Chain A
Amino acid sequence: MISMNKVSKHYGSFQVLADCTTQVHKGEVIVVCGPSGSGKSTLIKCVNGLEPFQSGEIIVNGVSVGDPKTNLSKLRSTVGMVFQNFELFPHMRIIDNLAIAQVKVLGRNPEQAREKGFKLLDRVGLRVQAEKYPGQLSGGQQQRVAIARALSMDPICMLFDEPTSALDPEMINEVLDVMTELAQEGMTMMCVTHEMGFARRVANRVIFMDQGRIVEDDSKEAFFGNPRSERAQQFLAKILHH
């Protein structure tokens, strides 16, 4: 579904990504972790072309992301993305946040789009908030709406960029529950997250990055049981400490 081959990116002389190669198969859940500045977010943003890269190749569902001839808007409409800071559109009601891209991008009729929006809000338990504005919801609720908004486009896979990092601890679980449910339904997911509990429960594979390189790319059992690199061992020792 997603295939990366030797993807590299640099800002001037600073190497952000170096020769990153990995595959995500249909139905797989991949957790990407690593210290800050290791390039995790940049890597995931390269998948739908929000970040350009200088060399290498990314193929999503048979389409090359880096090819200048690719219709990026069309590609992006098939890949759902959830951001650290939710990024709902503050001037629209919740239901309109869910409907607008369906109407303007996919050309669905507004009634159907709202109908689908309501169904998805039901699914994330926020139907009653449909007529409110994003600023009137808690962070956890906003992030669940953001997931529903991404799902409204019927994506073939979902990208999560630290979806729980900006949340109060109390609200992290409600978001992770939605993500877990999604994974169990067979959605292909690539998640940048520090939630190691989520990784242990849900992930098929864990990618560990450091200084722009993919240092480990292994099944979760292997990664948590016996990380090969010293850097990953240190990382795990630190974050699993408490």
Chain B
Amino acid sequence: MSLKTDDRKFDARTAAGIEDAFMRGAVGSAQDSLKTRRLTAATALGDWEQWRELGQQIRQHTLENLDYYLGQMADNVERRGGHVFFARTKEEASAYIRDVVQSKNARKVVKSKSMVTEEIEMNHVLMEAGCEVIESDLGEYILQEDDWDPPSHIVAPALHKNRKQIRDVFASKLSYAGDETPEHLARFARDILREKFLEAEIGITGCNFAVANLGAINLVTNEGNGDLTAALPKTHIAVMGMERIVPTLEEMEVLDNLLCRSAVGQKLTSYITVMGPREPGEVDGPEEFHLVVVDNGRSEILASEFHEALQCIRCGACLNVCPVYRHIGGHAYGSIYPGPIGAVITPLLGGYDDYKELPYASSLCGACTDVCPVKIPLHEQLVMHRQNIVSQGRTGVADRVQMKAAGKLLSSPGMFRGTLRVAYSMTRLLSRHGRIVRGPGPIEGWIGIRDMPQPVKKQDGFRSWYEKRERVDRSEVSSMTAADIRKKAPSAHGDFNAAVLPEAGPGRDTSVEEAASPIGKEGRRP
């Protein structure tokens, strides 16, 4: 797997997502239950906003001093007998790992879930070198057995699959004969993977946070596979994105609390482990420990206006609240990093050539920004991407023409007044029964699926009404009742309900009894 998970165009990926009814049901119900669980866990902490600010401050302090903390961490890992390799590119990272594996003449590699190892295409490189690589996270193992189906969520990689599909994968690939009960499927995988842990020569894990002063890494899991991966094989290789570091155990503790609650609504996951090279006298744990620190585009992000994206602790909370992710699923993003954070970092890591649509796959509702435990301004960063895409001339000609015209119109009171004057007559030929039924460009995108009221005549517009009533003796106003005001005002009330009702519109009175008129009764487009 690489950053890119799909060669199809964005529209084709999205359409495939929208058509996948099971996936959408699964994502929807996962979002709904995780929302409640996350909220309960966050509320239980008391002042969640203060926790977020604390998390943000810790992440920002660490990033501002990243060279210092990485240096300190490397000193401490080496002092304890481990090795640290700094990889500028994904090629350097996976080549180093391959070299370590080959230097051990190893063939059997067991892994725990790690997004950065996907990013550096490590599995591919190791398999090319003749190794068996086993993903031990249950979700990742299912995907691996399904011919390396890409993950669709950064915490729950197989979220898009149902139990029947999983049963079928196990049956056809592993001769599983049981039913589709999740317990049975999980127990079956446990038995197979237990053997793999015990025979593996190399264990490869990711790293939630490196602890700089200790020279150790922190893993946060529920299944226990990360611990077995690190404890049993004689060589442990941990791979980390260079930004995933904290000064001490004290800051790690804060971030782990934010991570567990935001990711899965747990206070702490079942296994939170801090591990480093084996100390003298200890029996198990790795005899050789390697930590690979990966840049692969991160230093460019650090130098850019997107540097806050590096605060990410990969909790996936932004995916779990995103209404767009909800309907298109993870695969539509075409990246191992889906959802809002994926739409921010994928174009940074993979470039606009392949990913310029992602920043637009958001209604900018801000749910991601609101939920982020380390306060990354995700939706603002999506707008920043759009600004870059525009300034690099990557938007279509039509879009540029329309937006530049809109820019002119929206900044010119005179032009806007002119538009209000002609809007009704200009749209008359496009409208029927007070509703626009066809139109160019953006209007087409709207009316393809929704009704749209026709603009009102200038004399029926708000501005004309306000202007005319200005001429009413203003001293009367305070003593007038609303009914009086209404009598003096022109009775135009071309609101949405009125506009879609042929018999309503100008001339309609707005008495209480009448209330708003129902829409959808008449004049509906076929």
Instruction: Tell whether A pairs with B.
Output: no
Residues of chain B at the chain A interface (Cβ within 8 Å): none
List residues of A whose CB falls within 8 A of some B CB: none
